[in-house]
């Protein structure tokens, strides 16, 4: 293949992959017009990353390396993290997915961290924080003779800053907030997301210590330590604190837990600093100011004729490590402190996706002992080959700068290029591009429905299942729809038993199996493993407690759980969605009901300059949310006025019937007419476009954005396209359009 002709290698991209690439990755001009094809994106990335070789050898011809990088991505065998796909070879040039920032116990340090967070989110990264250094609420502040407001109040500051910075529309901001279990405010922290309208831009985890877990096992008290002076301020019963963590996780999935002592046990550079936090999805422990560059191998592409293609896997591992080390080199870091720390340790995180699909291709059930043994074998191979590739790079380029004094050097190991090599990350949108299962998760569904325009229903079917169903002669549209309605095939006796055993979904698998799979991969992973442990709706608090304790015994570095329907139930209990319940065949079904108009509503009016004159858009809301919209043209009469009035009526009906504001904006924004108005960001293409922009302004001005989006997500639907969402590693991802809650 000639890399000057990227389309000479035919890309086998699905419709969903193309949608995701067009919406979130491909380069655009100022008017939003797409400027590159998917093939040109991969070529752009390959050229930019291979150019790093010339740093070490100015005469190097990187054409062949660029060709290898291109083929690896174009063949969907490997994908780097999203910022690399988005920004490599472009002006922004920020390629890292995740960062950890320190938060010191002073107003100056706290707001420096807020500023740094804004810069990172603007560049497309996510951030992790430990709030454990902050003195507790009501503690003394000597400089002002006042009292401290505590960590949780400052978490809200970071949350608001994240919501304000929209990252240029490419990636959402996401944060991880961690508090040590021995912090005096720990009980308030555990409950800080019980209200689902709070801290929506944070995942939270409790930083658990070995001493705490020992106290839990023995039902003992443990000390709370004030970080201001390291003095004991009180004690709590460990079992009661643990039970509170478990109960809240059962309630809505948060907090998770991370085992801090285990993170630091595997910290390769303790002489540089201690691990306090992780990235937003928990798989990447980092020192303060560190970043990490992630990438994932598509294991489904590492199967040849029903066998693992070990030689090809070895080639891809070595090529991927070379790729990720080059990312470290050419990255444009958002802060000098981050550049210094990243070059000092050169951490990379090579992981996998397509694990469930690989098992299907090999004829192995996800919940079998054979699958667990293969998981260990595969990850051991990737880890060993990844470290060998890093050793090879060190011979040519030198070890990471902090190698002297590191765990490697103290053990007498040969110099290595990267302080860490492997990480199992959630793969979200990149697994959609690769048309494969996410990370090490089971497949989410064999078949599912999605609603498109005019209430049409499309049935999506797992490609391997459709292939098997057609080969064995039991495929039919009616069966696929029935599978989508049930969500599982395990009880469908008209499907062969061996097929039902093979195509097992996340909710068919016991929480214990989820956790054993996580532990199997963790055993041979430098950093941590992102995995959601799924529970059925009827799981008990005791079931969750069992899994948290099992995670500790199996050697996991953290655990995140999600109980099916727990967040939907939370929303319904707040009364935010109004529904009527009826009984059909003994089951409860819910349908939306149009809200009745109260006599008095609160509203805002926005003036929008259109090509037909000024348009005044009034948005009214009731106690539930947006309710109705009226329009008035500056000059009365005419077609424009009647069309705008019609738009207002339809928007009002949509809102009163439960349609989200984002969906309305999506349908109206960008519609153009013969007489646009304004330039650049102020350009109004039509009256419909003006209404969309007025609604958008209203959402931003009144803080609706993240709340409305969160409510939609908690109902189990994507706020962008209405498709189903998956819970993956503490994040929410739509596999139809690529929407991700956690950047």
pLDDT digits over 610-619, tens only? 888 888 899 9
Confidence at residue 311, expressed as pLDDT on a 0 to 100 scale: 98
DSSP bridge partners of 99 = 127, 291
CA 557 vs. chain centroid, Å, equals 19
- Are 67 and 46 contacting, i.e. CB atoms less than 8 angstroms apart? yes
Reduced to 3 states, what is the DSSP secondary structure of residue 352? strand
**How many CA atoms within 13 Å lie on the side-chain side of 202?**
34
What's the count of helices (H) and strands (E) in the chain, helices before strands?
27, 27
Q: Could you tell me the two tokens for 353?
A: 């996706």
Q: Is 728 a catalytic residue?
A: no
Q: How much of the chain exceeds pLDDT 90, in percent? A: 63
Distance CA(670)–CA(668), nearest Å, equals: 6
Confidence at residue 484, expressed as pLDDT on a 0 to 100 scale: 86
H/E stretch holding 458 reads strand 457-461
334: number of Cβ within 10 Å: 23
**More confident of the two residues 455 and 291:** 291
Instruction: Report, as an integer, the average pLDDT of 217-244.
Output: 97
Confidence at residue 656, expressed as pLDDT on a 0 to 100 scale: 83
pLDDT tens digits along 499-548 = 999 999 998 999 999 999 999 999 999 999 999 999 998 999 999 999 99
pLDDT band at residue 581 using 50, 70 and 90 as cut-offs: very low
Confidence at residue 571, expressed as pLDDT on a 0 to 100 scale: 28
Query: Helix 310-330 vs helix 369-397: angle between axes, to the nearest 10 degrees?
Result: 50
Confidence at residue 273, expressed as pLDDT on a 0 to 100 scale: 97
Reduced to 3 states, what is the DSSP secondary structure of residue 355? helix
pLDDT tens digits along 417-433 = 999 999 999 998 899 99
Catalytic residue among 163, 283, 628, 726: 283
Confidence at residue 723, expressed as pLDDT on a 0 to 100 scale: 65
Instruction: Report, as an integer, the average pLDDT of 683-705.
Output: 81
Phi-psi region of 253 (alpha: psi -120 to 50; beta: other; left: phi over 0): left
pLDDT tens digits along 329-364 = 999 999 999 999 999 999 999 999 999 999 999 999
Query: Is pLDDT of 453 > 70?
Result: no
Q: What is the CATH number of domain 6-92+291-305+313-431?
A: 3.20.70.20
Any idea which of 9-23, 67-81, 220-234, 242-256 has the lowest mean pLDDT?
Answer: 9-23
Q: Could you tell me the two tokens for 307?
A: 């066998």
Query: Helix 541-553 vs helix 511-522: angle between axes, to the nearest 10 degrees?
Result: 20
Catalytic residue among 16, 279, 293, 527: 279
Query: Is pLDDT of 702 > 80?
Result: no
DSSP bridge partners of 726 = 733
- Are 535 and 511 contacting, i.e. CB atoms less than 8 angstroms apart? yes
Q: Could you tell me the two tokens for 34?
A: 């797409």
- Are 42 and 1 contacting, i.e. CB atoms less than 8 angstroms apart? no
Instruction: Report, as an integer, the average pLDDT of 681-688.
Output: 85
Distance CA(537)–CA(521), nearest Å, equals: 27
For residue 209, CA distances in Å to 236, 242, 359 come to: 14, 12, 35
The set of residues, in sequence order, having a beta carbon less than 8 Å from that of 644 and lying 6+ positions away, is: 615, 631, 633, 687, 691
- Are 269 and 419 contacting, i.e. CB atoms less than 8 angstroms apart? yes
Instruction: Report, as an integer, the average pLDDT of 41-64.
Output: 96
Q: Is 281 a catalytic residue?
A: yes
Place of tokens 């837990």: 257
For residue 314, CA distances in Å to 303, 389, 447 come to: 13, 10, 33
End-to-end CA distance of the chain: 34
Distance CA(498)–CA(510), nearest Å, equals: 19
Query: Is pLDDT of 465 > 50?
Result: yes
Most confidently predicted of 18-22, 235-239, 493-497, 657-661: 235-239
Query: Is pLDDT of 584 > 50?
Result: no
Query: Is pLDDT of 714 > 90?
Result: no
Q: What are phi and psi of 697, to 5 degrees?
A: -60, -40
pLDDT tens digits along 629-673 = 989 887 655 677 888 888 988 898 888 877 778 778 878 888 888
Catalytic residue among 281, 556, 721, 742: 281
Instruction: Report, as an integer, the average pLDDT of 89-117.
Output: 95
Domain boundaries, the chain: 6-92+291-305+313-431, 602-714
The DSSP string of 158-184 is HHHHHHH--GGGTS---EEEEEETTST
**Angle subtended at Cα 614 by Cα 610 and Cα 620, rounded to the nearest 5 degrees:** 105
Nearest to 488 by CA among 531, 521, 449, 445: 445
Confidence at residue 454, expressed as pLDDT on a 0 to 100 scale: 42
Q: What are phi and psi of 32, to 5 degrees?
A: 90, 5
pLDDT tens digits along 197-208 = 789 889 999 999
Instruction: Report, as an integer, the average pLDDT of 382-388.
Output: 98
Q: What is the mean pLDDT of the chain?
A: 87
HEC assignment per residue over 205-216:
EEEECHHHHHHH
Reduced to 3 states, what is the DSSP secondary structure of residue 460? strand
Query: Is pLDDT of 3 > 70?
Result: no
CA torsion through residues 485, 490, 494, 495, sign: positive
**Angle subtended at Cα 234 by Cα 230 and Cα 235, rounded to the nearest 5 degrees:** 115
**More confident of the two residues 484 and 66:** 66
Confidence at residue 588, expressed as pLDDT on a 0 to 100 scale: 39
HEC assignment per residue over 127-138:
EEEECCCCCCCC
| DSSP H helices in 503-632 | 511-522, 541-553, 566-574
Any idea which of 292-306, 476-490, 696-710 has the lowest mean pLDDT?
Answer: 696-710
Look up residue 403 and give its DSSP letter.
Answer: -
Confidence at residue 681, expressed as pLDDT on a 0 to 100 scale: 67
Instruction: Report, as an integer, the average pLDDT of 382-393.
Output: 98
Q: Is 279 a catalytic residue?
A: yes
- Are 372 and 516 contacting, i.e. CB atoms less than 8 angstroms apart? yes
pLDDT tens digits along 398-409 = 999 999 999 999
Provide the strand spans (E) within 18-145: 78-80, 98-101, 126-130, 140-141
Q: How much of the chain exceeds pLDDT 70, in percent? A: 87
Distance CA(627)–CA(67), nearest Å, equals: 55
Widest pairwise Cα distance in the chain: 84
Reduced to 3 states, what is the DSSP secondary structure of residue 266? coil
- Long-range contact set of residues 186-190: C-beta below 8 Å, sequence gap at least 24: 186/224, 186/236, 186/241, 187/236, 187/241, 187/244, 188/137, 188/150, 188/152, 189/131, 189/151, 189/152, 189/255, 190/241, 190/244, 190/245, 190/248, 190/255
Reduced to 3 states, what is the DSSP secondary structure of residue 317? helix
H/E stretch holding 726 reads strand 725-728
Confidence at residue 168, expressed as pLDDT on a 0 to 100 scale: 46
Confidence at residue 593, expressed as pLDDT on a 0 to 100 scale: 53
Distance CA(189)–CA(176), nearest Å, equals: 13
pLDDT band at residue 169 using 50, 70 and 90 as cut-offs: very low
Confidence at residue 574, expressed as pLDDT on a 0 to 100 scale: 24
Q: Could you tell me the two tokens for 132?
A: 């454990």
Confidence at residue 579, expressed as pLDDT on a 0 to 100 scale: 40
Look up residue 246 and give its DSSP letter.
Answer: H
Q: What are phi and psi of 167, to 5 degrees?
A: 55, 35
Confidence at residue 659, expressed as pLDDT on a 0 to 100 scale: 79
Q: Could you tell me the two tokens for 596?
A: 């009745």
Place of tokens 């085992």: 259
pLDDT band at residue 599 using 50, 70 and 90 as cut-offs: confident
75: number of Cβ within 10 Å: 16
**More confident of the two residues 711 and 301:** 301
pLDDT band at residue 736 using 50, 70 and 90 as cut-offs: low
Confidence at residue 742, expressed as pLDDT on a 0 to 100 scale: 65
């Amino acid at each position: 293949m000639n890399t000057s002709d990227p389309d000479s290698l035919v890309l086998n991209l699905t419709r969903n992959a193309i949608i995701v690439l067009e919406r979130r990755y491909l380069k655009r001009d100022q008017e939003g017009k797409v400027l590159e094809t998917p093939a040109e994106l991969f070529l752009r990335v390959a050229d930019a990353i291979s150019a790093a070789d010339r740093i070490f050898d100015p005469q190097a011809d990187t054409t062949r390396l660029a060709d290898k990088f291109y083929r690896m991505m174009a063949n969907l065998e490997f994908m780097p993290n999203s910022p690399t796909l988005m920004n490599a070879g472009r002006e922004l040039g920020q390629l890292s997915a995740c960062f950890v920032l320190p938060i010191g116990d002073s107003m100056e340090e706290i707001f420096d961290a807020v500023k740094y967070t804004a810069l990172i989110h603007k560049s497309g990264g996510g951030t992790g924080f430990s709030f454990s250094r902050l003195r507790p609420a009501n503690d003394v502040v000597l400089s002002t003779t006042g009292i401290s407001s505590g960590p949780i109040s400052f978490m809200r500051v970071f949350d608001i800053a994240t919501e304000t910075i929209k990252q240029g529309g490419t990636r959402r901001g996401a944060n991880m907030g961690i508090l040590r279990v021995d912090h005096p405010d720990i009980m308030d922290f555990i409950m800080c997301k019980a209200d689902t309208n709070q801290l929506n831009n944070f995942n939270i985890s409790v930083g658990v210590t070995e001493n705490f877990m020992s106290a839990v096992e023995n039902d003992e008290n443990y000390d709370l330590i004030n970080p201001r002076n390291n003095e004991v301020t009180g004690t709590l019963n460990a079992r009661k604190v643990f039970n509170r963590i478990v109960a809240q996780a059962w309630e809505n999935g948060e907090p998770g837990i991370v085992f801090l002592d285990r993170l630091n046990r595997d910290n390769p550079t303790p002489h540089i600093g201690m691990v306090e936090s992780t990235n937003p999805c928990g798989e990447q422990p980092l020192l303060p100011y560190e970043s990490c560059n992630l990438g994932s191998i598509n294991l489904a592409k590492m199967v040849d004729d029903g066998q693992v293609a070990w030689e090809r896997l070895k080639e891809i591992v070595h090529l991927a490590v070379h790729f990720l080390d080059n990312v470290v080199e050419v990255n444009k870091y958002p802060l000098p402190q981050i550049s210094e720390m990243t070059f000092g340790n050169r951490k990379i995180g090579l992981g996998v996706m397509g694990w469930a699909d690989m098992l299907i291709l090999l004829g192995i059930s996800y919940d079998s002992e054979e699958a667990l043994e293969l998981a260990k074998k595969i990850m051991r191979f990737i880890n060993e080959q990844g470290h060998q590739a890093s050793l090879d790079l060190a011979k040519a380029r030198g070890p990471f700068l902090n190698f002297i004094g590191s765990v490697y050097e103290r053990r007498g190991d040969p110099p290595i290029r990267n302080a860490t090599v492997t990480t199992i990350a959630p793969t979200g949108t990149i697994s959609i591009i690769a048309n494969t299962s996410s990370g090490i998760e089971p497949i989410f569904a064999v078949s599912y429905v999605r609603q498109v325009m005019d209430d049409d229903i499309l049935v999506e079917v797992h490609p391997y299942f459709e292939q098997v169903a057609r080969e064995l002669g039991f495929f039919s549209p009616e069966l696929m729809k029935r599978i989508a309605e049930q969500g599982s095939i395990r009880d469908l006796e008209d499907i062969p038993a061996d097929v039902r055993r093979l195509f097992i979904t996340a909710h068919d698998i016991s929480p214990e199996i989820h956790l054993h799979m996580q532990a199997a991969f963790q055993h041979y992973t430098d950093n941590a493993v992102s995995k959601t442990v799924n529970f059925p709706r009827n799981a008990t608090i005791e079931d969750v407690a069992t899994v948290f304790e099992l995670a500790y015994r199996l050697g996991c570095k953290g655990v995140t759980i999600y109980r099916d329907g727990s967040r939907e139930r939370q929303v319904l209990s707040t009364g935010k969605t109004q529904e009527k319940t009826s009984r059909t065949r003994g089951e409860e079904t819910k349908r939306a009901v149009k809200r009745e108009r109260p006599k008095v509503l609160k509203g805002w009016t926005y003036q929008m300059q259109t090509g037909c004159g000024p348009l005044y858009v009034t948005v009214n809301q009731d106690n539930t949310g947006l309710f109705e919209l009226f329009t008035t043209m500056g000059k009365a009469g005419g077609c424009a006025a009647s069309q705008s009035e019609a738009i207002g009526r339809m928007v009002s009906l949509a809102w009163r019937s439960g349609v989200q504001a984002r969906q309305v904006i999506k349908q109206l924004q960008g519609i153009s007419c013969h007489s646009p108005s304004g330039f650049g960001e102020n350009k109004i293409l039509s009256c419909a476009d003006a209404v969309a922009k007025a609604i958008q302004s209203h959402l931003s001005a009144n803080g609706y954005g993240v709340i409305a989006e969160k409510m939609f997500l908690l109902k189990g639907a994507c706020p962008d396209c209405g498709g189903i969402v998956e819970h993956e590693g503490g994040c929410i991802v739509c596999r139809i359009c690529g929407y991700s809650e956690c950047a």
